[in-house]
Amino acid sequence: MAVPLTPRQPGAGPAPEAAPPDDAIDPTYRPPLAVLGPLRQAGRLFTLAWEVVRSVFRRPFQVRELIEQFWFIASVSILPTALVSIPFGAVIALQVGSLTQQLGAQSFTGGASVLAIIQQASPLIVALVIAGAGGSAICADLGARTIREELDAMEVMGIPPVQRLVVPRVLAAMLVSVFLNGLVSVVGTLGGYFFNVVLQHGTPGSYLQSFSALAQLPDLYISEIKALIFGFIAGVVAAYRGLNPRGGPKGVGDSVNQSVVITFLLLFLVNVGITAIYLQIVPMKGA
């Protein structure tokens, strides 16, 4: 039964405004909480990193998966890393050599160039190659498993995906980073020595003497620590983007690109912090 409409009585106040049509709503409006999206993403990334650290000490440990991932990442990273380290060492040696010649301090060319290669260039080269080669493969693999709902099936069966899939990949990236860092240090140092002695007519004795006079063992330690941390960052970021793709196969491709870019940004920021702390704690040799 329809309810009859009663006429509006005088003095009853203004009539309520009608709701605006859908096409009158501003499509660019965003709720205030939407600005917290990047913070949520950062929080989830740190949560995954902490879960990876905790899962390392849980049993059973996936030894076979770790070996397979270690071999895969090493096989796709070792040749590009060795090839990239040669021009890096050459550029640093040539630049430092030209600068020391202008200042009349050719005897310090070897020490300055080798320190720059070991402390800065070597761990960054390794991390960038692993993020671009191994990290993208990790992200694509986990992303494909996610959109096929394999991870949901693992959780239903009581298998933690982080412990089963993420931990071996992150540990493999860390181990490969440490080993390749030594390779880059040796190849870069030899390349710098060759270009300084042959192209800039430096003396081999002064190059080696300045290296032994300025370099110290903690320089190698901090280089390996950087490589270990950078490998952890590359593995965690790749795993996080692989576990959270959006939009099916296209979303997996976008996640791969995002993982590489985010890893690069984090690597340079963390490198600045570690270098500043190291220079404050460990005094330079001879100082």
3-state secondary structure 118-184: HHHHHHHHHHHHHHHHHHHHHHHHHHHHHHCCHHHHHHHCCCCHHHHHHHHHHHHHHHHHHHHHHHH
pLDDT at 172: 93
Tell me, yes or no, whether 268 lies in a domain: yes
In terms of Cβ atoms closer than 10 Å to its own Cβ (0-12, 13-18, 19+), residue 280 is: exposed
Angle at 86 between CA 85 and CA 92, to 5 degrees: 85
Angstrom distance (rounded) from CA 81 to CA 185? 11
Distance (Å, rounded) from C-alpha 111 to C-alpha 92? 12
The reply to whether 71 falls in a domain is no
Q: Average of pLDDT values for 47-69? A: 88
Number of domains present in the structure of the chain: 1
Domain of residue 97: give its range. Answer: 77-281
Give pLDDT, residue 83. 85
**pLDDT value at residue 32:** 46
Residue 31, both tokens? 């709720």
Q: Residues with Cβ < 8 Å from 193, sequence gap 6 or more?
A: 93, 110, 204, 207
pTM over 0.75: yes
| pLDDT value of residue 175 | 93
Position 106 in a domain: yes
Whether pLDDT at 63 is above 90? no
Q: Is position 24 within any domain?
A: no
> Per-residue pLDDT averaged across 250-269, rounded?
87
**Is residue 98 in a domain?**
yes
Which residue reads 């490998």 in tokens? 231
- Among residues 118, 112, 115, 116, which one has the least CA distance to residue 97? 112
Kindly report which listed range (61-70, 155-164, 204-213, 259-268) carries the lowest average pLDDT score.
204-213
pLDDT band at 26 (very low <50, low <70, confident <90, very high): very low
pLDDT band at 171 (very low <50, low <70, confident <90, very high): very high
Contacts of 220 (CB under 8 A, 6+ apart): 118, 185
pLDDT digits (tens, 9 = 90+) for 138-152: 888 888 888 888 888
Within a domain: 160? yes
Does 122 reside within a domain?
yes
Q: Which residue has the higher pLDDT, 215 or 46?
A: 46
Query: Cα separation of 71 and 234, whole Å?
Result: 17
32, part of any domain: no
Alpha-carbon distance of 250 to 261, in angstroms, equals 17
Q: What would the two tokens of residue 117 be?
A: 């290669």
Q: Are 162 and 48 in contact (CB under 8 A)?
A: yes
Report residue 28 as tokens. 């660019």
The stretch 198-212 carries a mean pLDDT of: 72
Does the pLDDT at position 103 exceed 50? yes
Asked if 162 and 52 count as a contact pair (C-beta separation under 8 A), the reply is yes
